[in-house]
Structure 1
Amino acid sequence: MANAPARPNFSLINRAAVARLPDVLARLLPGGCPIGNEWHVGSLRGDTGDSLRVRLRGERAGAWCDFATGDKGGDPISLAAAVAGISQDEAARRLARMLGMEDAAHG
């Protein structure tokens, strides 16, 4: 039986994503834009609009909520998972690759 892949380093990946959050959000949710302390976008599909918001700064940077659907999460990995409809492990791996963090993608 083959070994399961190592879990990604969620903490390291989330911190790196928060440090580059506007760039990450522009790729994940291209229809959005920064307004004050939040990224405003219409949906997890990246449509233009205002119902989904992601906190850009402060202690809760990366936390998000779609006020139209009630979907929400506390970090960039959960957002990437929701956008792509994939597991958080796979979302962390993809986000790590996007950020050039191959080592963190594998534990």
Structure 2
Amino acid sequence: MAYPSRLHPDSDRAGAIDFPAVNRAALGALPALLGRWLPDGKKQGHEWVARNPKRGDRKPGSFSVNLNTGRWADFAEAEARGGDVISLAAYLAGVTQYEAACELAKMLGLKGGAE
């Protein structure tokens, strides 16, 4: 997902967060993040393949995350897809992308995030 500017203010919050910087840092830590978020998954080539925890997925296969780009999709759910790690974190946690970016920034020890 592209943002109109480098810093994306949330209308309900004072402050802005550097989405590209958070995504870059999260992409560098993606295997560890996926191990926490999707522990039943496994690496297959350049993808992390797992069951989708947001639905009654019985076996891995339709839900995957590209380890190089952070793009992700559940091919059994048309609306369950995104272009980066922040959107994945937001989807899995059921929060806004702003909230997910703030949490990732904190988790990854990034400075200059939203206050």
State the TM-score, normalizing by the size of structure 2.
Answer: 0.78
Number of the residue aligned with 2:38: 29
**1:28-47 CA deviation, whole Å, 9 max, x = no partner?**
22221111110001104497
Unaligned runs of 5+ in 1: none
Which of the residues 63, 66, 74 maps onto 2:74? 66
Asked whether the equivalents of residues 44 and 52 of structure 1 are also in contact (C-alpha less than 8 Å), the reply is no
Which of the residues 4, 14, 21 maps onto 2:23? 14
Q: Using the TM superposition, give the Cα deviation of residue 8 of structure 1 relative to its aligned residue in structure 2, in angstroms.
A: 1.5
Unaligned runs of 5+ in 2: 1-11
* CA distance in 2 between partners of 1:92 and 1:13 (Å): 7
Matched-pair identity in %: 43
Number of the residue aligned with 2:52: 43
Asked whether the equivalents of residues 55 and 62 of structure 1 are also in contact (C-alpha less than 8 Å), the reply is yes
Moved more, 31-40 or 72-81: 31-40
- Cα distance change of structure 1 residues 44 and 10 upon mapping to structure 2, 3 Å threshold: farther
Quick check: 1:52 aligned with 2:63? yes
**1:51-89 CA deviation, whole Å, 9 max, x = no partner?**
1110012xxx10000011121000000000000110000
| SS of equivalent residue, structure 1 residue 16 | helix
From the two aligned structures, give the one with the greater helix fraction: 1
Number of the residue aligned with 2:9: none
Number of the residue aligned with 2:95: 86
* CA distance in 1 between partners of 2:103 and 2:53 (Å): 17
Quick check: 1:105 aligned with 2:103? no
From the two aligned structures, give the one with the greater strand fraction: 2
